[in-house]
Amino acid sequence: MNYNMVGDAIVKHCGGLENFIHVTNCMTRVRMTIADPSLVDMPALKGIEGVLGVVEDDTLQVIVGPGKSSKVATVINERLKGAPAVDTTLSGVEQKAKLAREKAKKQTRTKAILKHIANIFVPILPALIAAGILMGLNNVVVNSAASWAMSHHIAAVGDLSPTQVVLDQRHLLGVSQFLDIVSKALFGFLAIYAGITSAREFEGNLILGGLLGAITIMPQVTTLGLIPGQGGLIGVIFAVWLMCLLEKQVRRFVPDIVDVVVTPTVVLLVMAAAQLFIIMPAAGVVSNGILHALNGLLEHGGIAAGFVLSALFPFLISLGLHHGLFPIHLEMINATGHAPLFAIQIMSNAGMVGAATAVLLLTRDPVMKKIAKGAIPTSILAVGEPTIFGVNIPAGFAFITGSIGAGFGGVMVVLLGVSTNGVGAAGLSALPLIADGKYLQYILAWLVGCAAAFALTYVVGKVRGYDKEMA
């Protein structure tokens, strides 16, 4: 991909540099805040070579695929450095922005909450994936050593446990300790990172947001009868949301001359007390309730729950809401060490790959063939968005059949007891995250989902005459 050409084309079809307010990116999408949406040429934007799809939401999201989104966003931001600032007093711009805000308010409360949570975790996601993979690799090394130590009756030596003795003999003890430190630097302080990104999402002071997150993991909270981390990320996000509301209200009444001292002090004092004595205990009850409900669903719902949940996840991805489930996955890991729901979720990747492969074989459209050939390997390795937006949604029926196929992958996940001890990656990249060494079971479940989606898509495509359609 020529990133300069793609970036310049996006700028051109979005109304020029003067129509951009903010540009950022997530794993697969360039996310743009546009001053005047009426200036965006959607058909031309979708027709740019290398663009897999476009999503219109509170931001305009152009899907270009993993690794490419950051490079395209960088190109656009480089162009913006020399551009004049957006004049929001231009005729019609304020009115259009107001209409956009009103439209956003009309979305369902559930969707709005999931959108906020997704926006909070998008900046953390690359680190989550990296730390999760490193943790998974360390688990593979440690589990292998533990199994060897048990089967060969290895005894402890000094301060070293039997497992550590084996690791030391294999010259892997230092490597294991290194991987453990790096991964725990993310998961151990995740409440702080979530507090910072929550404050950014709700337009408050970033460091105060991080501080509220830090309060929840302080060991000293045990002196107040609390458990460090009680309430999880749900409590942190809610507390930071309240903090941002309070900060805006306090600032209205505090004189400018003492604002820098009084406002943060009052906000921190009030919110720290609320966090410790109200929010943490209440959020703990809510978190436990959610976990019990989900565990009950997975335990008693069996394969039906696995099928339905896996089949629904592609729809969440298509709406950009799937990251909103990260607090639940992470709370499950914190409570039990496993995230069975995440293992079910990533079967959506298998379904989308299977469907896209069938489309590749069926289609006579050379453009679709080219997109599919690039999207399928990416989705096998990592994320499913390239096949979702580049192949299956444009094909129409393939998105539905792919989702149904993913459901069969979810059935196998439940039957085989596959779970993860990390979150973030999908496809083959998720292998290090698989818990209890069930790597073959995960691959089998993934292949079943992929094969089911392929078969359904191919048969439906033949029946519909998709293989006879021209570009």
Q: Which residues does the annotation mark as catalytic? A: 26
432-437: long-range contacts, CB 8 A cutoff, minimum separation 24: 432/132, 432/133, 432/134, 432/135, 432/136, 432/137, 432/139, 432/140, 433/132, 433/133, 433/135, 433/136, 433/342, 434/136, 434/343, 435/139, 435/337, 435/338, 437/140, 437/143
CA atoms within 13 A on the CB side of 109: 0
Q: Which two tokens stand for residue 367?
A: 């453009």
Q: b vs e for 398-430, b when ≥16 Cβ sit within 10 Å of the residue's Cβ? A: bbbbbbbbbbbbbbbbbebebbbbbbbbbbebb
Q: Where are the beta strands (DSSP E) in 184-334?
A: none
DSSP letter, residue 225: T
Enumerate residues 6+ apart whose C-beta is below 8 A from 315: 403
DSSP helix/strand/coil, 2: coil
Q: Which two tokens stand for residue 90?
A: 């231009």
Closest CA to 386 of 357, 361, 412: 357
Strand (E) or helix (H) holding 71: helix 68-81
Closest CA to 276 of 327, 220, 326: 220
- Terminal alpha carbon distance of the chain: 22
Cα 138 to chain centroid distance, Å, stands at 23
Cα 425 to chain centroid distance, Å, stands at 9
Distance CA 238, CA 201 (A): 12
CA atoms within 13 A on the CB side of 228: 10
Distance CA 348, CA 455 (A): 16
Instruction: Tell me the sheet residues that pair with 61.
Output: 31, 55
Torsional sign, CA 460, 462, 465, 469:
positive
Closest CA to 340 of 206, 435, 262, 441: 435
Helices then strands (H, E): number in the chain? 21, 4
For 152-176, give the DSSP string.
TTPPPBTTB-HHHHHHHHTT-HHHH
Q: Which residue has tokens 């359904």? A: 456
